[in-house]
Structure 1
Amino acid sequence: MVKNSFISVISQEKEKNCGSVEFQVFSFTNKIRKLTSHLELHKRDFLSQKGLRKILGRRQRLLDYLSKKNRVRYKKLIGQLGIRESKTR
Structure 2
Amino acid sequence: MNSCFTEVFRSSSQGAGMIDKKAIIAEFGKNEADTGSPEVQIALLSSRISHLTEHLRQHKGDHHTRRGLMMLIGQRRRLLDYVKSNDVERYRSIIARLGIRR
Question: Which range, TM-score by smaller chain?
Answer: 0.7 to 0.9
Question: Sequence identity of aligned pairs in percent?
Answer: 37
Q: Which runs of 5+ in 2 are unaligned?
A: 1-6, 9-19
- The amino acid of 2:70's aligned partner reads R
Change (3 A) 1:10 1:40: closer
Structure 1 or 2: more helix by fraction: 1
Q: Which runs of 5+ in 1 are unaligned?
A: none
Match of 1:40 among 57, 80, 90: 57
Cα deviation per residue 1:23-79 (whole Å; 9 max; x = unaligned)? 000000001001000000000000000000000000000000100001011100000
Q: Does 1:20 align with 2:37?
A: yes
For the 8 Å contact 1:25–1:59, the answer to whether it is kept is yes
Provide the TM-score with structure 2 as the length reference: 0.74
Number of aligned residues = 83
Alignment-derived partner of residue 76 in structure 2 = 59
Distance 1:81 1:51 in 2: 21
- The amino acid of 1:75's aligned partner reads R
Following TM superposition, the consecutive aligned residue runs of length 4 or more in structure 1 with deviations greater than 4 angstroms are none
Alignment-derived partner of residue 84 in structure 1 = 101
